[in-house]
Amino acid sequence: MSADKSVLVTGCSSGIGLCVAQELHKHGYQVFATARHKDDVTKLKELGLTALLLDLDDSLSIQNALKQVLQETGGTLYALFNNGAYGQAGAVEDLSRDVLRKQFETNLFGWLELTNLVLPVMRKQGYGRIIQNSSVLGLVAMPFRGAYNSSKYALEGLTDTLRLEVSHTSTNIHISLIEPGPISSRFRANALKAFRTHIDAENSVHRDLYKKLVERLEKEGPSAPFTEPPSAVFKRVLHALESPKPKIRYYVTFPTYLFAFLRLVLPWRWLDNILKRY
């Protein structure tokens, strides 16, 4: 794959974004690895990557990052990997309007804004790939994940609609969703931080169940069976970038295949009986 294939990746300070940026670089792509903190941008540069600041909560930061990318590429961009996000753990009843809004700012609105800036570039050049890192939690719901679940369900809806609309104007812009199940990363540590910052656990009706939730989020190493490394996601990203006919949805990990299947075949109440244990 030649270096004229430029890819912009969000959320590269850790986990999947970091892995995908490094692997694409090794595969000869012109990678623009982005992170929202200066020290992470410095670390990415030390790894030999072209790195930029991009905070999904900040429109100006999104615009500036894309401007710099386009300056370096002469106005083109082969692909965008929308990835940066976090999980706001906590029961739906304990979510304030502001906390849910914050979850959507990062996990959905930032992605939408960046995508809408990138699409005219792709349309002008006549090709492009947009890859959305969604989740098994964009397909099924689990308790205490309502903020994150709803942001990924919204991403699924927005992406499905976008794909239909883009097909009216371009046959050479492909949009794919990746649906990872458990992947080892900083996701749980960051979810714990968001939980402690935004949820009043002591005064919640769910106080006792929250103890189990905190134990799960505090656990080092894989907390769920069938956890895979970020490279499992990278494999699907590479296919979405290189296949002449990329898939609309890529399932990653056994739990995603399982729940995607169960949701099609089981009555909703049976599915609830399984999902409420998680």
Ligand X SMILES: NC(=O)c1ccc[n+]([C@@H]2O[C@H](COP(=O)([O-])OP(=O)(O)OC[C@H]3O[C@@H](n4cnc5c(N)ncnc54)[C@H](OP(=O)(O)O)[C@@H]3O)[C@@H](O)[C@H]2O)c1
Q: Catalytic residue positions?
A: 148
* Residue 101 Cα distances to 26, 67, 75, angstroms: 37, 27, 33
Q: Quick check: 247 binds ligand X (CB under 6 A)?
A: no
Q: How many CA atoms lie within 13 A of 16 on its CB side?
A: 29
Q: Quick check: 146 binds ligand X (CB under 6 A)?
A: no
Q: Quick check: 30 binds ligand X (CB under 6 A)?
A: no
The piece of 30-38, 67-75, 165-173, 195-203 that touches ligand X (CB under 6 A) is 30-38
Least separation in angstroms between CB 125 and ligand X: 25
Q: Which is nearer to ligand X, 55 or 94 (CB)?
A: 55
Residues within window 50-69 making contact with ligand X, judged by CB under 6 A: 54-57
Q: How many CA atoms lie within 13 A of 203 on its CB side?
A: 5
The tokens of 249 are what?
């949805």
Count the Cβ atoms, other than its own, within 10 Å of residue 74.
Answer: 8
Q: Which is nearer to ligand X, 25 or 36 (CB)?
A: 36
Q: Which of 17, 90, 128, 255 binds ligand X (CB under 6 A)?
A: 17
Q: Which of 90, 128, 146, 182 binds ligand X (CB under 6 A)?
A: 182
Among 192, 179, 174, 189, which residue's Cα sits nearest to residue 263? 179
Residue 90 buriedness (CB in 10 A; 0-12 / 13-18 / 19+): buried
Least separation in angstroms between CB 190 and ligand X: 4
Q: Quick check: 183 binds ligand X (CB under 6 A)?
A: yes
Residue written as tokens 């995603």? 256
Among 150, 151, 179, 155, which residue's Cα sits nearest to residue 253? 179
Q: Which of 140, 146, 190, 192 binds ligand X (CB under 6 A)?
A: 190
Q: Which of 10, 103, 115, 150 binds ligand X (CB under 6 A)?
A: 10
**Site of interaction with ligand X (CB under 6 A):** 10-17, 35-37, 54-57, 83-86, 106, 133, 135, 180, 182-183, 185-187, 190
